[in-house]
Amino acid sequence: MTKPIRAKISALGTYAPPRLLTNADLEKMVETNDQWILDRTGIRQRHIVDKGVATSDLAVEAARKALAQRGLAPTDIEAIIVGTVTPDMLFPSTACLVQHKLGAAGAWGFDLSAACSAFVYALQAGAQFISTGAHKRVLVIGADAMSTIIDYTDRATCILFGDGAGAVLLEPAEDDSAGLIDFIHEVDGSGGCFLYMPAGGSLHPATRETVEQRMHYVHQDGQQVFKFAVRKQTELCEKLLQRNGLKGSDIDVFIPHQANQRIITASADRLGLRPESVIINIDTYGNTTAGTIPLAMGTAIEQGKLKNGSLVLLASVGAGFTSGACLLRWAF
């Protein structure tokens, strides 16, 4: 059997729409206050799309930056995977729309639905095409326009989410010293009832009633999700570290999904991570669902923490429940 080829991230592009929704803005919309939001979540502001701007637009902006960074043309891309829960429409897939807008003639692609774990799932899905030798350049995008499915009269959810996207290019690593090392992904469908959008699919197609009952928005039992997220994120990371003979302190950069600053610090503490290795940018972006991890990669680069050779741990928990952890050696 031929040895699998290791996939590496060779470029990164991120994008958040310019319009801001601050805690002060939300104070005027629902019964909340800046201090509560900051203390309970760590969020100060979110980026929000203007009307008419869709997830594919965010994805394309991020993808263009990633391609420019690597000096490649859209036609160099062989496959496009878009992780999102806010596709422009149910079909065609956002990947098709991105392929067309980018001008990535010759590429195929698909959407991947795994909520906040979509980026890590898509990364692994893309890596398989590289590993088998089927493709040499796969674009993996995490993009969500969460503001389009948020009920801005529900203070329990509207303070949390924002819009944004990140795209990475996957290419074969020259050798095993760089790239994706290992991953653990899980789903626990029994948690589906704690975070979901009830209508708009085949179970509850859009009707006057589904609109009146606000069923086209995100519904969440925050405490259930919080408890599961801390436990599962920690458990998966522990398993991944252990089976690779590593300790938390060996990790150079921890890039977790940004859902709540308290979830991040609780699991980072339990894992024994060095505080300076933990990337937090939720203050600036809120929870952008599939966008959080690539956006946080961008922050880690800006902060000078993510460098060639850094040992990186990614982690996420999201609706489903979906969860994932991924170990990689940064290579550009």
257 is catalytic: yes
Q: How far is the C-alpha of 57 from the C-alpha of 165, rounded, in Å? A: 9
| Binding-site size, ligand UT7 (CB under 6 A) | 19
Shortest CB 312 distance to ligand UT7, Å: 20
Q: How far is the C-alpha of 288 from the C-alpha of 117, rounded, in Å? A: 11
| Pattern 72-111, ligand UT7, x by CB under 6 A | ----------------------------------------
Taking the least distance from each CB to ligand UT7, the nearer of 219 and 274 is: 219
Query: Where does this chain touch ligand UT7 (CB under 6 A) — which range of 117-125, 144-152, 239-247, 257-265?
Result: 257-265
229 part of the interface to ligand UT7, by CB under 6 A: yes
Taking the least distance from each CB to ligand UT7, the nearer of 25 and 50 is: 25
Buried b (16+ CB within 10 A) or exposed e, 271-292: bebeeebbbbbbebbbbbbbbb
Q: What angle do CA 21, 24, 30 make, to 5 degrees?
A: 90
| Pattern 122-161, ligand UT7, x by CB under 6 A | ---------------------------------xx--x--
CA 211 → CA 53, 249, 276, distances in Å?
Answer: 22, 49, 45
Q: How far is the C-alpha of 173 from the C-alpha of 15, rounded, in Å? A: 26
| Pattern 188-227, ligand UT7, x by CB under 6 A | -------x--------------------------xx-xx-
Shortest CB 75 distance to ligand UT7, Å: 35
Q: Are 156 and 222 in contact (CB under 8 A)?
A: yes
Cβ neighbours for 173, distance < 8 A, ≥ 6 positions apart = 5, 6, 7, 8, 179, 331
23, 281, 287, 326: the catalytic one is: 287
264 part of the interface to ligand UT7, by CB under 6 A: no
Q: Is 166 in a helix, a strand, or coil? A: strand
User: What are the structure tokens assigned to 10, written together?
Assistant: 């060779």
Residues designated catalytic: 116, 257, 287
